[in-house]
């Protein structure tokens, strides 16, 4: 029997494609350079997959009096991962990354396992396993709403216009995921699996999302999303050094660097030791962390340069990943100009532009051509 598509199902199909377009935009604009951008794109792709499945599967498989177990399971799986991606998006924007973020996957896998295990025996009817899944999803959506609300506070700086776009994007994602989850719950509780009103209505949210993010250039995207992260509230200075220890860039959130001339010599010594003791020159990246004069320091070593951030507060877990990704993108784009320190100074200005995203109000210092420094021994630094 050929598939049948009514007007509502055609709109649902268009909704799926529209949400995939929302996910493609950050992939093209930023090449998904950070995990935050990947989380935004993943949320959109899972929503698109849910709407597409809602339109296509019943049209090809037909709808019988007994709900299709595979259809129910796939709907539940797609919306589950959309909820997880949304939670990670809001969490990384509001609080930054943490080494414990991966633990958020465990409740999801456990509840999905229960749903898929019980579906065949229950013929798609609700069960206690489905109830646990629903509770876990509601908690994740509720946490996303709370984190989204926390992003509104304190956004009065000159880039507030860009940040409003990030807040609108997050709000649209939250509403879309909430509608999809509500549709899943309603369909399971009432056995109304052939109603495509929810997936069709998501085309409105997808259109609004595209209207918000399509005008953003790469720099605008950084200001809107990476700039909205709470990381910048904790980073007081950030430095870039060549692999042999010479400084390239120094940025601070105020006119005075938190590490003065003498302390900077100590930092250079730490960086110099880091150069010697980390992994051999390769496309790999090594990370070190330390406390120095009461300040936290995270240093990431790439193939050509080293980035070190000075922070105050629990920013280490978030900074580690963001610095690594920023350094990776910079080296992949500029490796031809990084053969020597003298060549690297020609791209120091562009590096400063990118690193300024980590600071609220950066005061920039791009060092001139300096003689090679022999780092002194560290007197007060202590590796952690």
Convert the pLDDT of each residue in 130-168 to its tens digit: 889 999 999 999 999 998 887 776 444 445 566 678 889
Q: Is the pTM of this model over 0.85?
A: no
Tell me the residue ranges of DSSP E strands in 15-163: none
Lowest average pLDDT, out of 136-140, 200-204, 214-218, 342-346, goes to: 214-218
Lowest average pLDDT, out of 1-10, 176-185, 305-314, goes to: 1-10
- When pLDDT is averaged across residues 286-300 and rounded to a whole number, the result is 77
Using alpha carbons, select from 222, 283, 173 the residue that is nearest to residue 31.
222
Tell me the residue ranges of DSSP E strands in 118-252: 235-242, 247-252
CATH 3.40.1840.10 placement within the chain: 231-383
Query: How far apart, in whole angstroms, are the C-alpha atoms of residue 80 and residue 68?
Result: 18
Per-residue confidence at 276, pLDDT binned at 50, 70, 90? very low
Q: What is the pLDDT of residue 128?
A: 79
Q: Is the pLDDT of residue 321 over 90?
A: no
* Secondary structure letter of residue 376 according to DSSP: P
CA angle 111, 117, 119 (to 5 degrees): 100
Q: What is the pLDDT of residue 91?
A: 87
- When pLDDT is averaged across residues 63-91 and rounded to a whole number, the result is 84
Q: How many CB atoms lie within 10 A of CB 299?
A: 23
Q: What is the pLDDT of residue 82?
A: 96
Using alpha carbons, select from 153, 41, 37 the residue that is nearest to residue 97.
37
Residue identified by tokens 């984190």 is 147
Helices marked H in 95-159: 105-122, 128-150
Q: How many CB atoms lie within 10 A of CB 87?
A: 23
Q: What is the pLDDT of residue 381?
A: 38
Q: Is the pLDDT of residue 86 over 80?
A: yes
| CATH class of residue range 7-228 | mainly alpha
Q: What is the pLDDT of residue 296?
A: 79
Q: How many CB atoms lie within 10 A of CB 317?
A: 17
CATH 1.20.1070 placement within the chain: 7-228
Q: Is the pLDDT of residue 108 over 90?
A: yes
Q: Please, which residues bridge with residue 295 across strands?
A: 292
- Which range has highest mean pLDDT (67-81, 166-180, 182-196, 359-373)? 166-180
104 compared with 126, residue with greater pLDDT:
104
Q: Which fold has domain 231-383?
A: Profilin-like (3.40.1840)
Per-residue confidence at 85, pLDDT binned at 50, 70, 90? very high
* Secondary structure letter of residue 123 according to DSSP: T
């Amino acid at each position: 029997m050929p598939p049948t598509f009514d007007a509502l199902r055609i709109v649902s199909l268009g909704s799926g494609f529209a949400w995939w377009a929302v996910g493609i935009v950050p992939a093209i604009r930023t090449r998904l350079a950070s995990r935050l951008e990947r989380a935004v794109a993943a949320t959109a792709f899972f929503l698109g997959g849910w709407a597409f499945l809602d339109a296509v599967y019943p049209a090809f498989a037909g709808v019988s009096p007994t709900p299709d177990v595979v259809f129910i399971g796939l709907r539940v799986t797609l919306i589950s991962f959309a909820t997880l991606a949304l939670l990670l998006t809001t969490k990384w924007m509001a609080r930054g990354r943490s080494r414990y973020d991966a633990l958020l996957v465990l409740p999801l896998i456990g509840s999905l396992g229960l749903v898929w295990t019980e579906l065949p025996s229950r013929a798609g009817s609700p069960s206690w396993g489905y109830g646990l899944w629903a509770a876990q999803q509601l908690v994740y959506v509720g946490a996303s709403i709370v984190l989204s609300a926390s992003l509104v506070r304190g956004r009065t700086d000159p880039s507030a216009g860009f940040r409003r776009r990030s807040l609108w994007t997050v709000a649209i994602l939250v509403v879309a995921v909430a509608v999809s989850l509500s549709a899943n719950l309603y369909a399971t509780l009432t056995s109304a699996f052939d109603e495509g009103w929810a997936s069709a209505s998501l085309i409105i949210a997808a259109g609004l999302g595209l209207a918000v993010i399509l005008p953003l250039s790469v720099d605008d995207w950084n200001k809107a999303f990476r700039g909205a992260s709470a990381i910048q509230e904790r980073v007081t200075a950030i430095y870039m050094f060549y692999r042999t220890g010479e400084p390239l860039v120094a940025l601070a959130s105020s006119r005075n660097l938190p590490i003065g001339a003498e302390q900077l010599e100590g930092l250079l010594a730490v960086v110099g030791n880091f150069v010697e003791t980390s992994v051999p020159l390769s496309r790999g990246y090594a990370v070190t962390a330390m406390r120095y004069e009461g300040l936290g320091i995270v240093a990431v070593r790439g193939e050509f340069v080293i980035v070190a951030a000075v922070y105050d507060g629990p920013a280490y877990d978030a900074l580690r990943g963001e610095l690594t990704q920023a350094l990776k993108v910079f080296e992949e784009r500029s490796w031809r100009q990084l053969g020597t320190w003298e060549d690297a100074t020609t791209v120091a200005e562009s590096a400063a532009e990118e690193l300024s995203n980590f600071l609220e109000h950066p005061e920039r210092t791009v060092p001139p051509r300096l003689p090679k420094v022999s780092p002194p021994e560290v007197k007060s630094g202590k590796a952690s």
